[in-house]
A and B are shown apart, each in its own frame.
Chain A
Amino acid sequence: SAVISQKPSRDICQRGTSLTIQCQVDSQVTMMFWYRQQPGQSLTLIATANQGSEATYESGFVIDKFPISRPNLTFSTLTVSNMSPEDSSIYLCSVEGITGVNTGELFFGEGSRLTVL
């Protein structure tokens, strides 16, 4: 398994500002994933972050709104830009299982709960 640390764990932000969420993993991983969990809803994949290349965004998510960095194999950041109240969500970082076999299993950080006023 992997230990995933996210910062901040929660924050209250003003409309129009941007916030960067950090994700640190205790082992090297190829792919890191960023999910959004809106209140009362399921998890939606925002993008896949690969080291050394641009992130791959899912339909409905764009780089200008959610820029992602992946400077090395243990770290990634997600920025939520020009925030509005609709961006109030839990943002979760996740990585694949470190088993050498792709089974689709993911490990999750504890999430960053953002409230936008």
Chain B
Amino acid sequence: AQSVTQLGSHVSVSEGALVLLRCNYSSSVPPYLFWYVQYPNQGLQLLLKYTTGATLVKGINGFEAEFKKSETSFHLTKPSAHMSDAAEYFCAVSESGANSKLTFGKGITLSVRP
């Protein structure tokens, strides 16, 4: 079985500061890993994904994440936060080779202070 851990429920940063949202996973097979963002009153939008190949993946809006197998982590970062980044962020995992069945973390709310 697969699972995702996102510690904490809320992160607050200043505009221009580094954004770091942590995600750890467990999976019995090589995982596919995803970060989704949910803006207020909207559905989920894919930020980035890791399937195979390069472990550092770049997504939309300047976000990137690095797959670290040894640490079972897929932390999301952005060098400089913008006010428009305020949203809820979900990490998710699915098992490679299987039917698409995503398991989501509980999500973390990012606030950006002026």
Q: Which residues of A contact B (CB under 8 A)?
A: 4, 31, 33, 40-45, 48, 92, 94, 96, 102-111
Closest 7 CB pairs of A and B: A104-B94, A110-B43, A108-B43, A42-B106, A108-B44, A104-B32, A43-B104
Q: Let me know if B90 is at the binding interface, CB within 8 A.
A: yes
Interface size on B, residues (CB 8 A): 26
**Is A106's CB under 8 angstroms from B102's CB?**
yes
* Chain A contact residues: helix, strand, loop or mixed: strand
A104 — which chain B residues lie within 8 A by C-beta?
Answer: 32, 34, 51, 94-96, 98, 100-102
* Chain B contact residues: helix, strand, loop or mixed: loop
Tell me which of B43, B46, B96, B107 contacts A105 (CB under 8 A).
B46
In Å, the complex CA distance between A90 and B69 comes to 33
Tell me which of B9, B44, B49, B99 contacts A102 (CB under 8 A).
B99
Q: Let me know if B42 is at the binding interface, CB within 8 A.
A: yes
B101 — which chain A residues lie within 8 A by C-beta?
Answer: 45, 48, 104
